[in-house]
């Protein structure tokens, strides 16, 4: 299978920043719970006024799911996330240029403090996604995945 670098271009409108993520993506990584397989599917919904994320994490015998909507509130791109463990978070688009010049970053205030998730293009194929916690010394990364396109579905 040959690798193909996917374009990382936004489209018009506030939600256009999410255009590079629209589609179905997969990753495998190691976690404290062992090997994890994750799929993330981004779809434009409700007449293009929102982008919906459906994520599924498979850890050995367990499954963790997330449903999120990205939309615009007060002129700011915002997300609302709901997870299978009953948690809910929401946050807004932020600057992630310290990670990559084309980063798509969101920050949220979580029970444990400030967190951010960032997407950015891989130089060869797909994109990277990380989750970090804000510390006194800066951002501390605790999740790091490399996603490639789901094909043949």
> pLDDT tens digits, residue range 2-46?
444 557 888 999 999 999 999 999 999 887 677 889 999 999 999
Tens of pLDDT, residues 97-109: 999 999 999 999 9
Whole-model pTM: value is 0.90
Between the CA of residue 20 and those of 57, 84, 111, 126, 144, what are the distances in Å? 21, 26, 30, 9, 18
Question: Would you call 141 helix, strand, or coil by DSSP?
Answer: strand
The per-residue pLDDT for 2 is 40
What mean pLDDT do residues 105-117 have? 93
Per domain, the residue ranges of the chain are 42-149
The per-residue pLDDT for 5 is 54
Give the percent of the chain with pLDDT over 70.
Answer: 93
Q: How many beta carbons lie within 10 A of that of residue 53, not counting itself?
A: 17
What mean pLDDT do residues 41-54 have? 97
Query: Does 51 score more than 70 pLDDT?
Result: yes
The per-residue pLDDT for 152 is 66
The per-residue pLDDT for 59 is 87
How far apart are the C-alpha atoms of 20 and 4, rounded to whole Å?
A: 14
């Amino acid at each position: 299978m040959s690798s193909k670098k996917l374009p990382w271009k936004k489209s018009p409108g506030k939600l256009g920043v999410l255009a590079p993520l629209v589609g179905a993506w997969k990753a495998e990584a190691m976690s404290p719970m062992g090997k994890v397989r994750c799929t993330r599917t981004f779809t434009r919904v409700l007449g293009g006024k929102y982008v919906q994320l459906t994520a599924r994490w498979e850890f050995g015998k367990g499954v963790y799911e997330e449903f999120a909507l990205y939309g615009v509130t007060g002129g700011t791109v915002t997300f609302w996330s709901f997870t299978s463990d009953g948690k809910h978070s929401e946050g807004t688009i932020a600057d992630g240029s310290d990670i990559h010049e084309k980063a798509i970053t969101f920050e949220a205030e979580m029970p444990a403090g400030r967190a951010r998730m960032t997407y950015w293009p891989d130089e060869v194929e797909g994109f990277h996604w990380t989750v970090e916690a804000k510390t006194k010394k800066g951002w501390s990364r605790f999740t790091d995945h490399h996603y490639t396109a789901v094909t043949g579905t």
